[in-house]
């Protein structure tokens, strides 16, 4: 009788230990490669959702620009001089990744 109770208890403990063990990569939302670049360099004015518009920053959720059109703006800044260019502080890959993040994650 004690062996059955011990076996049942051991089985319950093993199931509890295995049942709660999920793969962290599966449960954690996969981050877009440009998200950290955007968060560090763009979110201050554009907001984490692209809608903040601080100091005249455009609402990125409404932009009609393509990735190819955004890259030169991010690289060199806006023509009106409000937005600075990031060619000195970001690589071409980081600039493209941030534009792709805007395109895929922030645009309506």
Q: What is the pLDDT of residue 100?
A: 97
Rounded Cα–Cα distance for residues 103 and 108 (Å): 9
The number of beta carbons lying within 10 Å of the beta carbon of residue 106 is 20
Over residues 55-64, the mean pLDDT reads: 93
Tokens of 40: 């560090």
Rounded Cα–Cα distance for residues 13 and 15 (Å): 5
Domains of the chain and CATH, by start? 32-106 (1.10.760.10)
What is the H or E stretch that residue 76 is in? helix 67-76
pLDDT digits (tens, 9 = 90+) for 70-104: 999 999 999 888 999 999 999 999 999 999 999 99
Best CA proximity match to 99, nearest among 48, 37, 31: 37
pLDDT digits (tens, 9 = 90+) for 4-29: 665 555 454 555 555 554 454 443 45
């Amino acid at each position: 009788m004690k062996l059955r109770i011990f076996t049942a208890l051991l089985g319950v403990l093993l199931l509890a230990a295995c049942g709660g063990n999920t793969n962290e990569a599966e449960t954690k939302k996969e981050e877009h490669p440009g998200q950290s670049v955007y968060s560090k360099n763009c979110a201050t004015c554009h907001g984490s959702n692209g809608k903040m518009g601080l100091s005249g920053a455009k609402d990125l959720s409404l932009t009609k620009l393509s990735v190819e059109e955004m890259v030169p703006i991010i690289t060199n800044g806006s023509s009106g001089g409000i937005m600075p260019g990031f060619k000195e502080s970001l690589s071409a890959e980081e600039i493209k990744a941030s534009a792709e993040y805007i395109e895929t994650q922030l645009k309506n």
